[in-house]
Chain A
């Protein structure tokens, strides 16, 4: 009864929804009640059963840089139909961020797995079998139609003034290469569309419901208000639920209108990472102090330009080193490539930039034959310089964190011991490495991108004194918990109040894409500011009183805010039979928001580090004597807000992994992922480097 009263209190109308079941995840703690009202996608499905639905599958290209000359279809009975580009009345393109990407293509094919057409039929198995009989003929694209690699953006950043190079200075260079990888999610992406009166319902797992609603409305020429997007739960590892669900939804929605029946469309959720090469050149004094540093980044971001500027904005803060220098200059250039477009893909630049920065720091230390910890403490800076991308930040705690895990891992002794593998001792079957990396984290998208998408959320103080939040971020118990903590922390009075997250019906508000840990890393800070404002204004306001706030960092001076500090040490060995890098133990210390959930933080740290190591090509020790172990230490940092360290941890894990691998096998190139054959080649060169 109380829940129903709450529903009325927040002004929800049953409308066309059938309130068959609503999930209430109640979290009782310290006398407060946070009720999460989630009107699940309970829709009128009484008339829907398997026999009056169409099932479909996407047919995609098997080639890149080609032109389709013919599509051979098997004989299709009247129970089957296809959907092709010509079925769209308008240009069949999705508008994503600042760019466009075709929904279906029948002419020029730019990348492998580009959607070509959709096939629908009475059941998924028959459709799947028929789809295997479809053959597509291609011809090579003419020279003039190939991608122009120059089509991209370029931006530079300069800090400080260059010092004159003297004879006693030494040049240290490093190059890191990150190969492009296409990831396919384990789960199949499923989109269900149906009509109900004037409304077109789309049920799909997506990180950005507004992207779907706006694009479907434009493509089908229907008002956006008549489209209801039901956001289904998803497990994303690389932000793969942004573009593929939108393509699926646009195709599925058109099929629903065409067939006049509900349709279920299935395909694979895929994402791709960019191909990045980062070169650094540092002039150092004879005692190892960096003076001038030059950094060049070249990134191939896929076949279509969606938002190259965002990549550059993300990349720049990661490139700035944490050590002292007189002059730093970085240039980031983006290009096109015959691959799936990379928009967010897990890191969108920051992690890879941080990887090169920390790896380079280890290389400088190695070139001066100094233990990395010692070199870092000799040259470390306590404050990062202010730039348009990220403000100045006190990073003195980084050294403390690194010292803590160095002590716990016995880093100095192990590092010295493992260093003997090179030179005369390299023939011993002793293949271990250990490395340290530390840095600052950011989270979410830049202010510029958030502003462009007009990301908003609404916080309301109801007559009963409860607080409601309306956002398009996907529901989860962790998110509920964070919202409750953040709001109650800012509403600094002792009144007992409920914090309720309203179900987003897909039409009310757009909080922007839930990518790059934006929901947990960036939003709580923005929510806290809005809650504080609500707290200030509540005395003079008539209830219910609402504030619609922007989900961007516009109150801050830069594109990103520092979100916490992390240090990591990775110890690994190379199996001399399987040629796999086997990670033995990891030590991580993170410093972030003051009232974070320890459970959530530790889980996120563990998952991020382990999944990044997997992406790097590592395996984990399962020996009984020393099974793989992660030691996580958490420290409070003065940023105050709950945040997420995913971005930094990805970059630092890569840096520590590659540096440790290089300690083991000196000739292995700093490229990721490290395949078994690359490790094998480096292993066979062991001892012959000189």
Chain B
């Protein structure tokens, strides 16, 4: 099946099996470095990418569903200014994920930050704590994850000058 999509800002046309999971497409056909360490659909959470700006487990997304859509992997995201907000939060909270899940956790945080950055609603802490369980890697405690999310959100709002009601 011919699939056209945008990955990290690059428009691509590929010929792949229509049911191939997105994580395998990115790993095998596009050799995405940040996705080399994930499982095959065992819900390890390390295969998170942003699909049209929202975090998804790429092992649960078939190739046919990404036609015409915009995929951002950590390789692409790490070159953006948005990434700096999260990186700064890791530093100021003194909590860093391990190399194995750094990419996935960062994209998950980005997705949460995007839900709330406009400033219209308060951060749902219970939801964030539940989201922390999505990445099964046991390298970051939930309390630190919550703090990093809060700090990243603050950095983002500050940078984008979002005024909260």
A contact set with B: CB distance below 8 Å: 124-125, 186-188, 233, 235, 476, 598-599, 602-603, 606-607, 610-611, 613-614, 620-624, 627-630
- In this complex, which of A476, A599, A607, A628 has the most chain B Cβ atoms within 10 angstroms of its Cβ? A607
Identify which of B3-11, B38-46, B70-78 touches chain A: B38-46
In the assembly, what is the distance between CA of A124 and CA of B29, in Å?
12
Task: Return chain A residues, CB-CB under 8 Å to B62.
Answer: none
Q: Write out the residue numbers on chain B whose beta carbons fall within 8 Å of the beta carbon of A598.
A: 94
Contact B37 A610 (CB under 8 A): no
* B141–A610 touching, CB < 8 Å: yes
A186 touches B132 (CB 8 A): no
Contacts of B130 in A (CB 8 A): 622
Task: Determine if B96 and A599 form an interchain contact, defined as CB atoms under 8 angstroms apart.
Answer: yes
Q: In the docked arrangement, what's the CA distance between A624 and B143, Å?
A: 9
Residues of B within 8 A of A188 (CB): 40
Please pick, from B28, B46, B144, the residue contacting A186 in the complex, using a CB distance under 8 A.
B46
Q: How far is the CA of A639 from the CA of B62 in the complex (A)?
A: 54
Near A by CB (< 8 A), chain B positions 49-99 give 94-96, 98-99
| Cβ contact within 8 Å between A235 and B17 | no
Q: Evaluate contact between B139 and A187: CB separation under 8 angstroms.
A: no
Q: 1/0 contact trace for B85-117 toward A, CB 8 Å? A: 000000000111011100000000000000000
Indicate if the CB atoms of A622 and B142 lie closer than 8 Å.
yes
Which residue in B17, B98, B125, B141 is a CB contact (below 8 Å) of A624?
Answer: B125
CB distance from B82 to the nearest CB of A (A): 22
Would B142 and A628 count as touching, CB distance under 8 A? Answer: yes
Question: Which residues from chain A contact B129 at a C-beta distance below 8 Å?
Answer: 622-624, 627
The reply to whether B28 and A124 form a contact with Cβ atoms under 8 Å apart is yes
CB–CB B142/A620 < 8 A:
yes
In whole angstroms, how far apart are the Cα atoms of A358 and B40 in the complex?
Answer: 39
Q: How far does the alpha carbon of A630 sit from the alpha carbon of B145 in the complex, in Å?
A: 11
Q: Measured between alpha carbons, how far is A246 from B71 in the docked complex, in Å?
A: 36
Contact between chains at B46 and A606 (CB < 8 Å): no
Residue B148 CB within 8 A of the other chain: no
CA distance A233 to B35 in the complex (A): 12
B133 within 8 A of partner (CB): yes
By a CB distance below 8 angstroms, the chain B residues around A620 are 138, 141-142
Contact of B139 among A124, A125, A233, A610 (CB under 8 A): A610
Closest to A205 in B: B36
A interface, over-half SS: mixed
Query: Which one, B36, B141, B142, B143, contacts A187 given CB within 8 A?
Result: B36
Q: How far is the CA of A630 from the CA of B144 in the complex (A)?
A: 8
Q: Are B36 and A630 closer than 8 Å at their CB atoms?
A: no
Q: Which 10 A-B pairs have the closest CB atoms?
A: A235-B100, A610-B138, A186-B39, A629-B143, A607-B139, A627-B142, A614-B138, A187-B37, A611-B138, A622-B129
User: Are the CB atoms of A607 and B98 closer together than 8 Å?
Assistant: yes
With a CB–CB cut-off of 8 A, which chain A residues contact B28?
Answer: 124
Query: Within the assembled complex, what's the spacing in Å between the Cα atoms of A627 and B100?
Result: 23
Q: List 28 A-B contacts (CB under 8 A).
A: A186-B42, A187-B37, A187-B39, A188-B40, A233-B36, A235-B100, A476-B99, A598-B94, A599-B94, A603-B98, A603-B139, A606-B139, A606-B140, A607-B98, A607-B138, A610-B139, A610-B141, A611-B138, A613-B138, A620-B141, A621-B142, A622-B130, A623-B129, A624-B129, A627-B142, A629-B142, A630-B141, A630-B144
| Residue from A186, A603, A622 within 8 A of B96 (CB atoms) | A603
Smallest beta-carbon distance B87→chain A, Å: 13
A602 with B133: in contact, given A624-B126, A628-B142 (CB under 8 Å)?
A: no
B98 — nearest CB in chain A belongs to which residue? A607
Complex Cα distance, B42 from A186, in Å, reads: 8
The closest CB in chain A to the CB of B29 belongs to: A50
Asked whether any CB of chain A lies closer than 8 Å to the CB of B153, the reply is no
> Shortest CB–CB separation between residue A117 and chain B, in angstroms?
22
**Bound-state Cα–Cα, A235 to B140, Å:** 16
Contacts of B48 in A (CB 8 A): none
Chain B contacts for A613, CB-based, 8 A? 138
Cβ of B146 < 8 Å from any Cβ of A? Answer: yes
Complex contacts, B37 vs chain A, CB 8 Å = 186-187, 235
Closest to B143 in A: A629
Output the nearest chain A residue to B132 by Cβ-Cβ distance: A622
6 more A-B contacts (CB under 8 A) besides A187-B38, A607-B98, A630-B141?
Answer: A598-B94, A606-B139, A610-B139, A613-B138, A627-B146, A628-B143
Chain B hits for A607, CB < 8 A: 98, 138-139
Residues on A with C-beta less than 8 A from B126 are 624
Q: How many whole Å from B29's CB to the nearest CB in chain A?
A: 9
A627 to B125, CA, bound (A): 10
Residues from chain A with a CB closer than 8 A to the CB of B96 are: 599, 603
Bound: A124/B42 CA distance, A? 20
Q: Would you call B44 and A186 a contact (CB within 8 A)?
A: yes
For B94, B96, B142, which residue has the most chain A Cβ atoms within 10 angstroms? B142
Task: Verify B143–A611 contact, CB threshold 8 A.
Answer: no
Q: What is the chain A residue whose CB lies nearest that of B44?
A: A186
Distance in angstroms from B71 CB to nearest chain A CB is 20
Task: Please report the C-alpha to C-alpha distance between residue A610 and residue B133 in the assembled complex, in whole angstroms.
Answer: 13
In the complex, which of the residues B46, B95, B125 has the most CB atoms of chain A within 10 Å of its own CB atom? B95
Q: Name the A residues within 8 Å of B36 (CB-CB).
A: 187, 233
Across the interface, which residues of B come within 8 angstroms of A627, CB to CB? Answer: 129, 141-143, 146
Contacts of A599 in B (CB 8 A): 94, 96
Q: Which of B42, B126, B139, B146 has the most CB of A within 10 A?
A: B139
Contacting residues, chain B, for A476 (C-beta < 8 A): 99
Q: Let me know if A628 and B141 touch, CB within 8 A.
A: yes
Q: Which residue of A lies closest to B45 (CB)?
A: A186
Q: Among B42, B99, B133, which residue has its beta carbon within 8 angstroms of that of A622?
A: B133
Closest-CB distance, B20 to chain A (whole angstroms): 8
- Check if A235 sits within 8 Å of B143, measured CB to CB: no
Most interface-central of A125, A187, A598, A620 (chain B CB within 10 A): A187
Collect the chain B residues with CB atoms within 8 Å of residue A611's CB.
138-139
Collect the chain A residues with CB atoms within 8 Å of residue B17's CB.
125
- Contact check: which of A187, A235, A606, A621 meets B95 at CB < 8 Å? A606
Give complex CA distance A125, B143 in Å.
42
Nearest CB of chain B from residue A504's CB, rounded to whole Å: 19
Who on chain A is nearest to B46 by CB? A186
Q: In whole angstroms, how far apart are the Cα atoms of A235 and B139 in the complex?
A: 12
Whether the pair A186, B143 counts as a contact (CB closer than 8 A) is: no
Give the nearest-CB partner of A600 in chain B: B96
Residues of A within 8 A of B39 (CB): 186-187
A613 to B142, CA, bound (A): 14
A-side contacts of B100, CB under 8 Å: 235
